[in-house]
Every structure is written in C-alpha cells, then in structure tokens.
Amino acid sequence: MSEPLPALPPVRAPVGATPTVRRRLALQRSRPLLIRAYALLLGEAGLAGPIARRRAARFAVRSLPALVTVAVGALVALRGFESAAGWGQVAAMAVLAVALGALVWRRVARAAAGEQAGYREQLELGSLFVVAAYAVAQSASFGHAESAFQPVVYLVMAFLVAFLAPGVGAGLVALAVTLEALLWAGRGARVVDLPEAVVHAGFVTVFAVLYYAVLAGQVAASRRDERLAIERRMKEIDHLARAFRLSVAAPDDAQDPAERERRWSEGAVIEIEAAVGGALEVAVAALRCHTCALFWLSEDEKTLTLLDCRSPSEAVGREPLPAGEGPLGGAVRRRSPVRLHGEVKAVSYYADGTRPKALLAAPLVDPRGGHVRGVVLVDRMEPTPFSEAEEKLLVTLAAEILRAVGAERLMKDVRQTRAEVDRFYRSIERLNRTRKLSEVYDALVGVASEMVTVDFAAVALRDEVDPSKVRVVRVAGGEGERTGAAGLDDLEFAMGDGCLVSSAIKIDDVLPVNALDPAKTRVFGSVCLRGLASLKIFPLKVGERSIGALVLGAKRAGAYGRDAVQQLLVISMHAAQSIDRARLFDQTERLATTDGLTGLTNHRTFQERLDAHLGQAQRYGKRTSLLLCDIDHFKSVNDTYGHPVGDQVLRGVARTLARAARGTDVVARYGGEEFAIVMPETDTGGAMVIAERIREKVGQLVFETEQGPLKVTLSLGVATFPDDGTQKPALIERADACLYHAKRHGRNQSVSAASLRAPRRAAV
C-alpha cells in the first residue's frame, strides 16, 4: 500500500496584491471626511444642526423685544414719526403693538401662575412702553417741536416707576434721557433747542423721582401702620395670655422657643375670644339686652378690664375699673350674681354717665379654689327687670366662658408637662451617651442649666485612691471673685471637715433642707459663696455609695422648687452612674495604651504616636527627634538584687523620664529596660540637652535595697527627622545604633547620630 499524502495547510482567502489594497484604501479614505463634514455642519450637534437651529430660534425670540425697542427708538431719534403717517410708520407701530401685546400677555399668564417678573422681563416691558410713548408723542407733533402728547411720556414714566423695581425704573429714566439727547442731536444739536431738551429730560426725571418718593412714603406709612397694628395686637394677646394664665415655656426641642410660645399663646387667645364672643352673642339674643360685656379681673384683684362687648352704644369705656365699686364690684365681693332694676346708679362702665334701667352681673368663679376671674354683665335701657331664669342663663354662660378658659389652661398644663417629661428623658439620654469624664461634667451642668436657673454650678468628686478627700473637678459660672468661686478648680478638702458638700456626700441627701445664706456657710471646705440667694447640693450616688456632689446656685431666691429638686436628684443619680462608667472607660483605655508596670505609654501606642508626629513634621516641615535609652547593667541588677528591686528601678527611672520630659513629648516603655521619648519640633541640639538632663537626673537616683543603696546609669541615643532618616524604621535604627555606640564606648553617655557622622565628614 502507498503511504498517505501529508495534510496540506489551509488555504488563505486572497486579499489581493499590495497595489490593489492601496487603491481600495484610497477610495475609502474620502468617505470619513465627508461624514465628518456633514456631522460638523448638519449633525445633531453641528453648527447648523437641530440643536443649533433651536438655540438660534430661542435667541431670536428672546431678542425680539430688544430689537423692537432699538428699532423704534432709532426711528424716534431720527424723527421718523413726525412726518405724515405712511406705510413705514404704520408698520413700525404695528410691530410695536404686537411686541407689547405679546409681552403683556406673557406677563399676565406668568402672574396667574404665581411667577414674579425678573429684572430682564421688567426692563423689556418698560423699554417698549417708553419708546411707544415717545412714538405716540412724536406722531401727534405734526412736525412741530412741541407735541401735545408730550405729557403722555411723563405719565407713562410715573406709571412704570410705580410698578417696576427701583433699578429698572432708573434704567428707564436713563433711556428716556438718552432719547431726548438723540432727538436734540437729530435736530442739528442747535443751542437754541437745548433748553427744550433739558426741560423734557428734567420733567421725565422729576416725575419719576417725585412719584417714586410719594409712593415710597405711602408704602412706608402703610407698613408702619401695619406694624404698629400688629404690635398692638401682639401686646393685647400677650396681656390676655397672662390674664388667662396661658403663658408656658416652650419645649427645648423647638427651633425657636419664643416663636413657638408666641404662636401657641396666640392660638389659645383666639380660641378663647371666639368662645367669649359666641357666649355674648347668645346672651344678647336670649336676654334682649342693650349691652353685654365681659370684664376680667386683674391678678392683684384690684381692677376690672373690658375684654369683649356687644352694645350699640359707643360710650362703653375700655379703661380699667376699680374692682371694689358699683355692681361689678358687688359681684366680685359676693361671688354671686347681682340683679338690679329701676334707676341704676353708680354705673362706671359707661363713659358718658348712661344709667340703665335694669342690670344683671354674674361673676366667673373658678371651681378650683373659688377664685373670681371676671364678671359677665348685661343691662337694659327699658324698665324691664331681669328674671330669675335669665339670671340662671347668664350664670350658665359665665360658666361656659370659664370652661373655655379652663380647657385652654388644661392644654397648657398638658403641654408643659409633656415638655418637662421630654426634657427630662432627653437629659438622661444625653448623660447616657457620654463616655469621658469631661463630657459627663459638661453634660451634667448643661442639663441642670436647662431645667432650672443656674448662676453657679460645680461638680465635686471623692478621690478614687483616697476616698477621705474630695476634689472640685468642674466649676461653671460664679463670676470669679464676686462669688468667691475663684480658685475652686481642683480644690481639695477633707470629707469630715463639716462643709455642706462633704455633709451632703456623707448623709446621701440633698442639702440644705432650709434656706440659708451661702455667704455665711462653708460650702467647699472653708470656701463660702457670695451673691447667691438659692443653693442646693445633690449627692452623686452609685448604688449605696456616694461618689461626689452636684452644687447649684442662683441669684434668685426660691429658684429650686420641690418638683425641680426631685427631678435633679434623679438626674444626679444617672450622672453618678455615667461618671462611674466613664471612670471605668478611662481605666480600660489606660490599660490599653499604657504599660502596666511603669504607667508610661506602651510600645504599640508609642509606634502610633511616632507615626503621627512624623507625619505632622513632614507636612509642616518641622523636625522631630527620637530618644532611645537603656538602663546600664540592668541584668546584673536583677541577678544581684532580685526582680522586685528591678521593677522598683524601672518605675523610678520611668518617673524621672516623665518628669524631665516636656508636656508635648511622648514617653514610652520600649521594651525590657529600654525607654523611648518622641520630642516633636525639636532638633538634635535640643534633644541632646533633654537627654543630658535625663541622664543626670537618673544618675542622682538612689534605691534603698536590703543589700544597701543602689544607683544606676543610662545610655542614650538620639536621632532626628529628617536629618538622620525620613522614614520611621530608618530613624529608629539610627537612634538604636547611637544607643549601642554609647554602650560600647563606656555607657552613661548620650550619643547623637549627628556626632557619629562628623568624623566621616572630616575623613572625606
């Protein structure tokens, strides 16, 4: 058998010779150019495309009023309307009328939709009116210099100034003056015609200014009268709210408590006025009286003031009347109705001395306490006495009026109670959200200030280590020297010294029980408080133990009522729990960030602080130095004296480092007997000064042991950012190298990276 033929590779499709391909590509290159040209000119976003055409159409429509104004104004300046009316003048006036009509129709439609006219729309409309007025005046001149219709220009200008914005009015006056100047120039700019042009321009300006001034004066007077009327009404509502005892503090969550209170009082007064008016209308219809009036008794029960009245007489006075005189005074004193007939004398509520023939007065007696709130009065001018049934009806109406007032008072009480409860729970929530001690102190003082009047506040706590001592941790208010509060911050006193604060903490109760003079009583240790008329001290209790006290003072006597004291006592208990929780949080935070043996910053926190300080130094172009130190021969200390003595040495050296370092430095235990200090904004020279001071202080330490006194020394290495390293690992490595250089060359010395570089530079 013959062997099978080998498989042939697949045949490629012919693509043509190179010249053929080039000819095809040449034919195809022109098509993209045509497409791009078409897209540039007639495409969707082309120069003459649909979008451009729509924009051009909108621009033409928006520019039409300005074009008409310019065209007609030019005709006016060229005196085109002075000649006999021809097709040109008629066409110009027709275009002007169409443009004016279109703008007026658009403004009416927008006004119906509640849309205000903008400056551009006002200017377009006003300009068309101005050139139209000039065109009409010029058409009626019949070739003469002065037109009989020239006053039309002044009236139109006054009308426009009255209804358009002041800036638009000024622009229209400028347009009119410009047209007058162009008209004068069109007549040859002759000097003889100048006075006429100046007079016309002056009249236009004077009409506009005077009309605007008169209109502005009228508007200002109207606004002033309206404001005064509103103020009078608001004063009346405020007076009635106090008379009806409807005033109440607005809730703390109100965006504007004063505005919320004003609106609520206004609504309550309006409701009461409506109820009173309805009751008086019923009395007039049912009792067939001449006058029916409600008089309200003042809080001091000395005067009666007319609140509402139904009477055909204009002589009913609104001045306050003495509460102890006449029939009204008799109803107030007796707390029962007064019925009179015949020639009633001593009627003081008529200013002209009118004497009714019959009178009936019923007091408004509050069922809660039997206090008289006012008097409802009816009278007749006919000698027809009021019957007993009519008296019962008036008493019933008086009770209805009092019930309406009582309902609004009840709403006020409910609202006030709700506001107090909401404020109370928000205060507790605010305390529960605190995490740090400073936040708890601020929240406690702030919450107390929201609940009661606080002119002085302080928080005092028992020392955690030594509970026999009390320290003032927060003071607010007090005006320093004037109250004796100066120097109270961090004041420490003993629990058993007998002052009010220590006594309140000791007995776990609110002090003082009775009012006393804080200026004559020791409040904090030996410190008294001056200028305060009220003082309360609330113990801060956690379970059965008191951890401190909240001290509140006010300049007003009786500032802390029973209900407020009870609420503040509960708040103090929650605050004590928040303080205890914050202390635990601080303790946990300290354990997480500090070394348990030395109390210094631990290694992890040291690394984080070093990163932060290096980043800050890099951002602001500052220097930061790193100091690493090691206790010399510390292993032999442990081997010779034992680990307890070694721990004592570590704690002593740590205390020395912390005291010798600055407040901005970070002192940390790096590991074992090694310590580290981060010194921000410190160059090598400054760091070496601090290093030497630390070395000398440690060298002066003496530790008492069973084998005798013990002294230790330190070796220190210093490196500075960015001179000795721009990255943290390099900086730590350089400081560590300096430390070990100090140890290898005798110990008890400070070595900087700069000092190690100096010999190499000299060698080079």
For 39-83, the pLDDT digits (tens) are 666 666 666 667 777 777 777 667 777 777 787 777 777 776 776
Claim to verify: residue 691 and residue 600 sit in the same structural domain: yes
Claim to verify: residue 544 and residue 686 sit in the same structural domain: no
Q: Which residues pair with 628 in a beta bridge?
A: 676, 717
Which of 530, 563, 588 is the endpoint of a domain?
A: 588
Token match 């139209």: residue?
Answer: 132
Is residue 656 included in any domain, yes or no? yes
Claim to verify: residue 575 and residue 603 sit in the same structural domain: no
- Count CA within 13 A, CB hemisphere, residue 648: 17
Claim to verify: residue 359 and residue 497 sit in the same structural domain: no
Give the model's pLDDT for residue 730: 94
- Residues 278, 279, 283, 284, CA torsion sign: negative
Claim to verify: residue 87 and residue 205 sit in the same structural domain: yes
- Count CA within 13 A, CB hemisphere, residue 252: 16
How many structural domains does the chain have? 4
CATH number of the domain that residue 442 is part of: 3.30.450.40
Known catalytic residues are 673
Segments of the chain with pLDDT less than 70: 1-36, 38-49, 60-61, 80, 83-86, 141-148, 162, 186, 193, 212, 215-216, 219-220, 223, 229-268, 346, 408, 412-413, 416, 419, 478-486, 758-764
pTM of the predicted model as reported, rounded to 2 decimal places: 0.46
Q: What secondary structure does DSSP assign to 494-517, as a single string? A: ETTS--HHHHHHHHTS-B-SS---
CATH number of the domain that residue 605 is part of: 3.30.70.270
Claim to verify: residue 745 and residue 692 sit in the same structural domain: yes
3-state secondary structure of 559: coil
Which of 358, 378, 413 is the endpoint of a domain?
A: 413
8 A C-beta contact, residue 199 and residue 206: no
Is residue 368 included in any domain, yes or no? yes
Is residue 27 included in any domain, yes or no? no
Claim to verify: residue 91 and residue 196 sit in the same structural domain: yes
8 A C-beta contact, residue 375 and residue 341: no
Claim to verify: residue 395 and residue 506 sit in the same structural domain: no
Claim to verify: residue 491 and residue 611 sit in the same structural domain: no
Is residue 45 included in any domain, yes or no? no
Give the model's pLDDT for residue 251: 43
Claim to verify: residue 614 and residue 751 sit in the same structural domain: yes
8 A C-beta contact, residue 661 and residue 686: no
Give the model's pLDDT for residue 585: 81
Is residue 701 included in any domain, yes or no? yes
Give the model's pLDDT for residue 292: 94
What is the bridge-based pairing of β-strands 492-494 and 674-680? unpaired
Claim to verify: residue 601 and residue 746 sit in the same structural domain: yes
**CA-to-CA distance for 506 and 515, rounded, in angstroms?**
20
**CA-to-CA distance for 590 and 437, rounded, in angstroms?**
14
Give the model's pLDDT for residue 250: 44
What is the residue type of 384?
T
- Residues 10, 16, 18, 23, CA torsion sign: negative
Domain that holds residue 191: 62-217
- For 49, other C-beta atoms within 10 Å of its C-beta total 17
What is the residue type of 156?
V
Is residue 37 included in any domain, yes or no? no
pLDDT digits (tens, 9 = 90+) for 118-154: 878 788 787 888 888 777 777 776 655 566 677 777 7
8 A C-beta contact, residue 554 and residue 533: yes
Q: Which residues pair with 601 in a beta bridge?
A: 594, 668
Is residue 157 included in any domain, yes or no? yes
What is the bridge-based pairing of β-strands 291-297 and 372-380? antiparallel
Claim to verify: residue 195 and residue 292 sit in the same structural domain: no
Is residue 170 included in any domain, yes or no? yes
Cα angle: 452, vertex 457, 459; to 5 degrees: 120
Which of 385, 413, 441 is the endpoint of a domain?
A: 413
